[in-house]
Chains A and B, each alone.
Chain A
């Protein structure tokens, strides 16, 4: 059982480039979320989805787009990368059944030069 899979694990971009971070889960979870982790700031919610076709903004959505065309996949797009987006990105999924906690992927470490 793979759980939450994120690709790539590492990426270096130049300012202005675009990129899509991939996230897939095989647990049939309704909820999926993207967080970014920065030193001394914990994890902050970027975007989230409560089901296929439904997305909403979190705390720090600017510069990022998401879509949820299937239950399994929740890609995060950087349209024009900026150095301030250098961070570690985590995808998480959960279900509302039995109040189960969120499961996290291993993260994507992204550097913008």
Chain B
């Protein structure tokens, strides 16, 4: 079945890099997404990557995609206290329609000052 897995917690020191990992199961997924959720707020799209790409960089964010291992990662450079939030990985399986996302459980990132 379709499943997206993430570790639940990550703690880093301010200024260090954070790497949040995600594994997915549906190889038909055309797009993979990273969303950020701050306390009490909705989901904010951070970035997304098309399945024919290996890497995408956007300022402090770097997304790496390993299609062979079905592994997606989000690297945040120079992590700041404002980056503390829950980060969700989501896939959009081609077989389900691009509007039906499958979300991971979310990784709670805590940035220590």
Contact surface of A with B, Cβ cutoff 8 Å: 31, 33, 35, 40-45, 48, 50, 58, 90, 92, 94, 96, 99, 101-107
Contacts of B4 in A (CB 8 A): 42
| CB of B8 closer than 8 Å to a CB of A | yes
Q: Interface readout for B70-113 with A: 1 if CB under 8 Å, 0 if not?
A: 00000000000000000010100000011111011110000000
Q: Is the CB of B106 within 8 A of A48?
A: no
Contacts of A105 in B (CB 8 A): 42
For the complex of A and B, 9 pairs with smallest distance between CB atoms = A31-B99, A42-B103, A106-B42, A104-B43, A43-B103, A42-B105, A104-B42, A107-B42, A101-B45
Chain A's interface: helix, strand, loop or mixed, by majority?
strand
User: Considering only CB atoms and an 8 Å cut-off, how many residues of chain B contact the other chain?
Assistant: 24
Tally of A-B Cβ pairs under 8 angstroms: 56
Q: Is the CB of B99 within 8 A of A94?
A: yes
Q: How far is the CA of A41 from the CA of B88 in the complex (A)?
A: 11
Contacts of B88 in A (CB 8 A): 42-43
Q: How far is the CA of A96 from the CA of B100 in the complex (A)?
A: 12
- List 29 A-B residue pairs with CB atoms under 8 Å apart, sorted by A's residue number: A33-B99, A33-B100, A33-B101, A35-B103, A40-B105, A42-B4, A42-B103, A42-B104, A42-B105, A43-B43, A45-B100, A48-B99, A50-B97, A90-B43, A92-B43, A92-B101, A94-B99, A96-B98, A96-B99, A99-B30, A99-B50, A101-B31, A101-B45, A103-B45, A104-B43, A104-B44, A106-B41, A106-B42, A107-B42
Chain A's closest residue to B105 (CB) is: A42
Q: Is the CB of A99 within 8 A of B98?
A: yes
Contact (A41, B43) CB under 8 Å given A99-B31, A99-B98: no
Q: How far is the CA of A41 from the CA of B103 in the complex (A)?
A: 9
CB distance from B22 to the nearest CB of A (A): 11
